């Protein structure tokens, strides 16, 4: 019986290690990191790495005030290019957008969305990605 328990623990430990190793290497090493632009109390709840190592769109949430915030951060600062961060309450017609020719990032943009679904996204250069009807509640 003890041999079986030891083997089971060894197999379980190897599975946890393999899962952890896969999880930590799933995103590209060149992905941008969240820059804290939304302010104190905001934690990253979702992100999306744009292709060609352009950068990352970050969605954050503040539990104390019920606001979501989006920033789009370039992987490498450089010459100005179109960068956008956008968010809105799902079903609404008006996006809250920061759009411009930036060297590092766009945003932060905020929406009060406690108990509601949101649409969020961003742009770097010619690539735009949006995520409708997300993070409801």
- Give the HSE-up count for residue 99: Cα atoms under 13 Å, Cβ half-sphere: 11
Terminal Cα distance for the chain, rounded: 47
6: left (phi over 0), alpha (psi -120 to 50) or beta: alpha
Query: How many residues are there in the chain?
Result: 137
**How much is the pLDDT for 22?**
31
Per-position pLDDT tens, the chain of length 137: 433 333 333 434 433 333 333 333 334 444 799 999 999 999 999 999 998 889 999 999 999 999 999 999 999 999 999 999 999 999 998 999 999 999 999 999 999 999 999 999 999 999 999 999 999 97
CB 116 within 8 A of CB 66: no
In order of their start, the domains of the chain are 42-134 (2.60.40)
**How much is the pLDDT for 105?**
98
Give me Rg for the CA atoms of the chain. Answer: 19
CB atoms within 10 A of CB 61: 20
């Amino acid at each position: 019986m003890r041999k079986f328990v030891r083997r089971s623990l060894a197999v379980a430990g190897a599975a946890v290690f393999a899962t952890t190793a896969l999880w930590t290497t799933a995103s590209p090493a060149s992905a941008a990191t969240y820059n804290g632009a939304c302010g104190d109390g905001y934690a990253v709840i979702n992100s999306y790495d744009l292709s060609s190592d352009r950068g990352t769109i970050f969605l954050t949430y503040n539990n104390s005030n019920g606001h979501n915030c989006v920033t789009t951060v370039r992987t490498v600062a450089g010459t100005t290019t179109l960068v956008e961060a956008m968010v809105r309450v799902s079903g609404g017609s008006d996006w809250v957008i920061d759009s411009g020719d930036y060297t590092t990032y766009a945003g932060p943009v905020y929406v009060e969305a406690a108990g509601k679904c949101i649409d969020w996204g961003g742009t770097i250069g010619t690539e735009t990605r949006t995520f409708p009807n997300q993070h409801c509640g």
